[in-house]
Amino acid sequence: MTDSEPKAAAKTRRTTRLPPEERKQMLVQKAADFFSKEGFDAGTRVLAEQMGITQPLIYRYFDSKDDLINEVYRHVYVSQWQDSWAETLTDRTRPLRGRLLDFYAAYCPVVFNERWMRIFFFAGLKGLDINSRYIQRVADLLLTPICHEMRAELGYKTDVPITEDELELVWLMHGTVFYQGVREKIYRSVEAVNYDFAVRTAVDMYLRVAPEVLARAVRKRPD
C-alpha cells in the first residue's frame, strides 16, 4: 500500500454523503453525547466545533438549538421507552410483587446509563422541560397504573380517582430505585450498585405500607 492510499481512503470517508435522515440521526446522537458531557450552555457554534461539523449544517436539519434539544429528548428518552413495561405492570394474572420486580428489571438497564442520567440532571439545572415531560410520562404511563394495580390487588375499586397519598407512595418507591442510579452515575459514590437488592427492598417496603395508605384514603373519600 502506498502512502497516498490511506489519504485517499480518508478523503473518501470524509466526502461520503449520508441520506438526510441518516445524517440527522447521526447529528442527534453526537449532540446527545455532547450535552451529556458539557451540559446545555454552549451555543451552536461551539456545539458544531465539538461535533466536527459546520454550524450551518446544524440549521440545515434543525430550526433552532431548542429543536435539536427536542430531538435529543426523543432519541434518549422517548425512543427507548418500552410499551412492554406497562403491559407487565397491568398483567393481573400474576401477583403485583412479581410484576413490579420484572418491570424494574427491564427498566433499570435502560435508564441507568451515564448519558441518560447526565442529560437528565443537566436539563434540570438549566430549567429545560425535558425533566417535566419525562416525569409526567412516568406518572401517567407507569406510576398511576401501579396505583390502580395495587387497588385491584387489595380489592378496592379502581374506577375512582387516585389520591395524592397513593401516588406519593409509589413515587417514594420509584425514587428509592432511581436514587441508586444517581449514586452510581452522578455522585459516583459507589463503584457498582446492587440494583436487584435495591429494587426488592423498595418494592417490599411499598407493598408493606400500601394497605394502610389505601385504607386511610378510602376512609377519607366521600361516598
**What's the pLDDT at 157?**
87
Say if residue 197's pLDDT is above 80. Answer: yes
Domains and CATH numbers, the chain: 4-76 (1.10.357.10), 80-220 (1.10.357)
Task: Tell me which residue of 134, 79, 133 sits closest to 110, measured CA to CA.
Answer: 79
Give the per-residue pLDDT at 7: 47
**What is the predicted pLDDT for the residue at 219?**
76
Higher pLDDT, 223 or 30: 30
| CA 29 to mean position of chain CA atoms | 16
Closest among 140, 167, 144 to 81, alpha carbons compared:
140
When pLDDT is cut at 50, 70 and 90, the band that residue 113 belongs to is: very high
pLDDT at 221: 67
pTM > 0.85: yes
* pLDDT score recorded for residue 8: 41
Mean pLDDT of 195-202: 98
With b meaning 16 or more CB within 10 Å and e meaning fewer, what string describes 87-101? ebbeeeeeebeebbb
Average pLDDT, integer, range 181-209: 96
